[in-house]
Structure 1
Amino acid sequence: MKKWFSIFKSELALIFDDKSILLTCLVAPILYAFFIGSIYAEKNVTEIPIAVVDFDHSNLSRKVSQLVNTSEKISVEGHYSSIEDAMFHFNNLEVQGILVLPKNFQRKTINLDGSQVELILNNTKFLTSNEINKAVQSVILTVAGGVRMQYFVSNNIPVELAKQKAQPILPVFKSIYNATNNYGDYLLPILLILIIQQTLIIGFGQSIVHEFKHGLFNHSEKLNFFEFTKILSAKSSYYILLYIIYFFVFYKLIFPFFSLSFNGSIFLHLLLSLLFISVLIIYTTLFASFFKTAIGWTEIMAFSTYPLFLVSGYSWPIDSMPQGLKVFANLLPSTPYFNIFNALATEGAKLDNITNGFAHLLVLLLVGYLLLYVRFQFIKEKMIVKTVEN
């Protein structure tokens, strides 16, 4: 036990001596949480300025422009007769989009011939471009449905039947993990969790690389796996405690600060977080053992953040991925964790609703521990051979 506390104290000394680990684990989580969060602070964007280029100058084209202007999210800042005039304001970022209504728009629409409406968007701001796209599509579909209905009524079809024929399929939206139907509310919680995940992986990984190069792990040929695990538990206990505190602070302070939905039992959330941290610790130790320098580890892990997020199934369904990516996604701790977190935070799920996710994380923990054992035996044999040769 005395040796365990000695290793624990040595880890604290390493953290405060190594500015990279110190900044990554103590400064970055809170700093990045407020930095990333501030980007989405105005999650519900309104009054997005757009321009309308009307080549038709008809009653229907003017009606479309009026309907777009009355949309909750959109504000028509100007009507133009040429693309060049609208593009001038677009390039100066005075408007975020341009709606182009073509010549003969009314005639082709009323005759049900179809008319191509163009929409030019500034995609550097995906929140605003997404809202413009949704609002314009909604207006165009409404106008098209109204035109079809008038056509059917003019052919002596009863009004109710004309409504059904004009729009035979009515969309029904049921938000599950995005109750506010807002992209910021959907994305920000997981980005905050991703900050915790990546700072832990990078910071603890740097410590492990240092340990294999200069510390107790450097003499692995003298250790058995039990002693190796003991050293690992002493080194990781500080990170486990620190990051459990981070999760609690994020749940209780940062989530409410950004008005993010957070339901479910705090005990289940922290239990899930503890299991998630443990899995990350095991896999970080495993993969960091292959690196020779802390800089190399940091570079790879920093650039892997976005790809790992995309593969986790949060932004793109795992079922739609190629078979190889499906297997890889299910090997990532973030895949079951994000699913359980959403079920708890958004739907207020109970323990019996998330047992599969917990089981998934437990399996990853056991598999990681077995792989770490195999890796340790390989490193030990390699060092024994090296010692004998010397």
Structure 2
Amino acid sequence: MGKCLLAIIIAEFKNIFLNKNVISVMIIGPLVYCFFYPQPYVKEVLTNVSIGVLDQDNSTMSRELIRNVNATKTVNVTTMVNSMSQAEHLLKTRQITGILVIPLRFEQKILRGESSPIAFYGDASYILIYNNVATTLSSVVAAMGSKISVERQIVQGIDPAVAQGGSQPFITNMIGLFNPQSGYATYVLPPVFILILHQLLFIGILLTTFSSKDKTATLFASFTTVTSSWLQSLLFIVGKIFTFLSVYLVMLSFYLTMVIKWYDIPNLADYSDILLFIFIFLCTTITFAIALSSFMKRAEDPFLLMVPISILLFFSSGISWPKELIPSAITFIAHLFPAVPSMIAFVKIAEMGAPLALVLPEMYNLLLLFIIYFIIALYCYHRQFKRLQHRSHP
């Protein structure tokens, strides 16, 4: 039995490394993804976003406001426009992402103690840029308004300390946990890396299955010492799991060491916890692919299934969109794919430093899927080998 298992493992390694299509998907694919996919997010945080300013007041106070806005890291005032039509043209041609309008008699109203609202017209089709610029402008305006309020109270004879305390009764100190730079790469790359590896491993396993059907039948015929189709099925599945687990343990180790450190993504995971998670994730994904391979007839079927559905899996995981807003039926279906609980568990373990006790629901989800797909794969291989037995012994 040991020789049969070794023969299966050797055959599977050959199916991987002697097939150009499989190598391109399982080996070259992850390397290409890890280099090219993160490039748009390398800078992490938006800086120097170009906006235009329409200063209809042209006063000392309006110029001070413009200087304060331009002094921030997020916003860069690149254009002073003379009319709204000019601003609209620059906005439509995307030379700027927004226009700040300071109204006429801005300074005069403020000196009178009246409010003088300013307007910001931003390109909300870039929601990330729009939100960052709008937040920055609100902070600058609030800080300037507080300063004016303090100065007005001091002129009225109020003690400066009292005036300062009245304008700022409390100070908010915003601390971003688990994402020190508040960057998009730190937020999106770790779960996407898990999704990518899940997708490529799934497709690679199905490609090897389609390309080695004849070899599998030949290998089955050579098993003279193992006659039970159930035992043969078990040996084939265990051999496949060992082979693909060996290959992708190396690939995931590369991602978790070189790639994560290269892009300076926080990793708070305990190594024993992350190794156990990786082991369960890979075993579940492999059995998932083996089970589904029995229901696919063409080599392009795994691409037609996994490529379109990957983005749906990412959104339904609740990482990029609140889980409470996702219909429960979609959430249930999504958790039938190993990628979804794996992404959630990986974010908790690696980025948040959570112990295994806090990811038990996701780990139980993966273990349950492993058992279900293992049984399905075992039954499907049993039927396949039973048919081969009838053909060889009519």
May I ask how many residue pairs the two structures share in their alignment?
A: 382
Of residues 366, 370, 373, the one that matches 2:372 is: 370
Q: Is the 8 A contact 2:75 2:136 kept in 1?
A: yes
Q: Is the 8 A contact 2:230 2:382 kept in 1?
A: no
Match of 2:343 in 1: 338
Q: Is the 8 A contact 2:288 2:370 kept in 1?
A: yes
Q: Structure 2 vs 1, CA of residues 206 and 108 (structure 1 numbering), >3 Å: closer, same or farther?
A: farther
Please state whether the residue corresponding to 2:72 is helix, strand or coil. coil
Match of 1:120 in 2: 123
Structural mapping, 1:154-233, within 5 Å = 171-210=172-211, 215-216=216-217, 224-233=229-238
**1:96-137 deviation digits (Å, cap 9, x = unpaired):** 4433445566678863485543223572xx665554343223
Q: Is the 8 A contact 1:343 1:354 kept in 2?
A: no
Q: Distance in 1 between matches of 2:326 and 2:139?
A: 29
Q: Structure 2 vs 1, CA of residues 166 and 336 (structure 1 numbering), >3 Å: closer, same or farther?
A: farther
Q: Structure 2 vs 1, CA of residues 319 and 17 (structure 1 numbering), >3 Å: closer, same or farther?
A: same
Q: Does 1:321 align with 2:322?
A: no
Q: Distance in 2 between matches of 1:146 and 1:292?
A: 71
Please state whether the residue corresponding to 1:29 is helix, strand or coil. helix
Q: Is the 8 A contact 2:281 2:338 kept in 1?
A: yes
Q: Distance in 2 between matches of 1:159 and 1:289?
A: 78
CA offset at residue 373 of structure 1?
2.0
Q: Distance in 2 between matches of 1:320 and 1:360?
A: 20
CA offset at residue 34 of structure 1?
0.8
Q: Does 1:73 align with 2:78?
A: no
CA offset at residue 22 of structure 1?
1.3
**1:9-67 deviation digits (Å, cap 9, x = unpaired):** 22233224433211011101111101112222222443333222234445554333222
Please state whether the residue corresponding to 1:117 is helix, strand or coil. strand
Match of 2:16 in 1: 15
- Report which stretch shifted further, 11-20 or 327-336: 327-336
Rg larger for: 2
Of residues 271, 274, 278, the one that matches 1:266 is: 271
Q: Structure 2 vs 1, CA of residues 225 and 105 (structure 1 numbering), >3 Å: closer, same or farther?
A: farther
Match of 1:357 in 2: 359
Q: Is the 8 A contact 2:52 2:96 kept in 1?
A: yes
Q: Structure 2 vs 1, CA of residues 377 and 231 (structure 1 numbering), >3 Å: closer, same or farther?
A: closer
**1:252-310 deviation digits (Å, cap 9, x = unpaired):** 21222222222333332222111111111122223333222121211321122221111
- Report which stretch shifted further, 97-106 or 361-370: 97-106
Q: Is the 8 A contact 1:37 1:188 kept in 2?
A: yes
Match of 2:262 in 1: 257
CA offset at residue 362 of structure 1?
3.8
Which one-letter code corresponds to 1:18 in the other structure?
A: N
Please state whether the residue corresponding to 2:296 is helix, strand or coil. coil
Runs (5+) with no aligned partner, structure 1: none
TM-score, length-scaled by structure 2:
0.79
Match of 1:289 in 2: 294
**1:169-210 deviation digits (Å, cap 9, x = unpaired):** 865533222122222222223333332222112212333455
Please state whether the residue corresponding to 2:77 is helix, strand or coil. strand
Q: Distance in 1 between matches of 2:155 and 2:44?
A: 44
Q: Structure 2 vs 1, CA of residues 332 and 371 (structure 1 numbering), >3 Å: closer, same or farther?
A: closer
Q: Structure 2 vs 1, CA of residues 291 and 151 (structure 1 numbering), >3 Å: closer, same or farther?
A: farther
CA RMSD of aligned residues (A): 4.0
Please state whether the residue corresponding to 1:203 is helix, strand or coil. helix
Q: Is the 8 A contact 1:205 1:288 kept in 2?
A: yes
CA offset at residue 80 of structure 1?
0.8
Q: Does 1:238 align with 2:243?
A: yes
TM-score, length-scaled by structure 1:
0.80
Q: Is the 8 A contact 2:100 2:118 kept in 1?
A: no
Which one-letter code corresponds to 1:176 in the other structure?
A: L
Please state whether the residue corresponding to 2:38 is helix, strand or coil. helix
Q: Does 1:306 align with 2:311?
A: yes
Q: Is the 8 A contact 2:199 2:310 kept in 1?
A: yes
Runs (5+) with no aligned partner, structure 2: 221-226
Q: Structure 2 vs 1, CA of residues 147 and 266 (structure 1 numbering), >3 Å: closer, same or farther?
A: same
CA offset at residue 70 of structure 1?
0.8
Q: Is the 8 A contact 1:217 1:228 kept in 2?
A: no
**1:114-168 deviation digits (Å, cap 9, x = unpaired):** 5543223572xx6655543432232244345556777899999998887787677
Which one-letter code corresponds to 2:195 in the other structure?
A: L
Which one-letter code corresponds to 2:19 in the other structure?
A: D
Please state whether the residue corresponding to 1:370 is helix, strand or coil. helix
Structural mapping, 1:20-59, within 5 Å = 20-59=21-60
Q: Structure 2 vs 1, CA of residues 7 and 382 (structure 1 numbering), >3 Å: closer, same or farther?
A: closer
Q: Structure 2 vs 1, CA of residues 100 and 354 (structure 1 numbering), >3 Å: closer, same or farther?
A: farther
